[in-house]
Amino acid sequence: MTLLELKEFLDEKADFYEQKEFIQNDPIIIPHEYENKLDIEISGFIISIISWGNRKSIIKSGYKIMNLLESSPYDFIMNHSSEDLKRIKGSIHRTFNSEDLIFFIKSLKNIYTKHNGLEGIISNIKNGDNLQERISNFKKKFFELKHSNRTKKHLPDPLKGSAAKRFNMFLRWMVRSNNKGVDFGLWKSISPSELSCPLDVHTGNTARKLGLLKRNQNDSLAVYELDKILREMDKKDPVKYDFALFGLGVNEKF
């Protein structure tokens, strides 16, 4: 296919898969439980962090976390007591355990208290010329509190080679329009044109089969390579093609 033919094909697939019925089996269903902006972004951030492995398992673990946060994530983050944290015990999701969750709670409070929240950091050009640099600087700020070294693995650093799939997915949720009832369009300070594709096994394999990606590793260089061609197809909303690439890989076994 020519690039124009490929664009037409992927435009059609993106439109088909960006529909409400597909979110029932996707981790994004959990932030859709909330109406308050801060509850949506905090639940979305935490759920994105644990989004690896089987999607049913991710959703089950996500609801478990929301129950631990008393189904009011922002209020819990900002007003929890030491006794509240003592009730968080044991396994949470795969290698993300209660120690990790407790640190995330404490750090998120620090982020909202001292750094103007998640959006405040990611939208601030002082934290980097592009979103991947800001993700890297976000990690530095997130771990400015005392922490266990094991917990650091749960946040990516694109400047050290990470594709930052889950963080880029979270940014897609927050930034892209909610016209179709899938993403939320809450962060008006960031343009969808700045987003990078959440690159994982499914999107990577599909992109390679379509000739959009040559690099074999799913790393930051591959994200850059894929972003470049997706922006050629739609410079205003390149990450809409995440729906097409993921849908083709998971639903159509492309």
- Average pLDDT, integer, range 143-151: 95
pLDDT given for residue 221 in this prediction: 98
Q: How many CB atoms lie within 10 A of CB 96?
A: 20
Residue in the block written with tokens 């902006």:
37
Domain coverage including residue 174: 3-250
Phi-psi region of 109 (alpha: psi -120 to 50; beta: other; left: phi over 0): alpha
Q: What is the mean pLDDT of the chain?
A: 96
HSE of 168, CA atoms in CB hemisphere, 13 A: 29
How far is residue 237's CA from residue 194's CA, in Å, rounded to a whole number?
8
CB 203 within 8 A of CB 81: no
Q: Give the containing element (helix H, strand E) for 86.
A: helix 82-86
- CA neighbor of 31 nearest in space, from 4, 70, 71: 71
Query: Over 90: is that where the pLDDT of 1 sits?
Result: no
**Confidence check: pLDDT of 53 > 90:** no
pLDDT tens digit sequence for 73-125:
999 999 999 999 999 998 899 899 999 999 999 999 999 999 999 999 999 99
% of the chain at pLDDT higher than 70 = 100
- pLDDT computed for residue 254 by the predictor: 84
Per-residue pLDDT, 253: 83
pTM for the model stands at 0.96
The closest alpha carbon to 13, from 232, 227, 225, 203, belongs to 203
What pLDDT digit, counting tens, does each position of 184-213 carry?
Answer: 999 999 999 999 999 999 999 999 999 999
Yes or no: say if 11 and 237 are a contact pair by the CB < 8 Å rule: no
118, burial (CB in 10 Å: exposed 0-12, middle 13-18, buried 19+): buried
Domain tally, the chain: 1
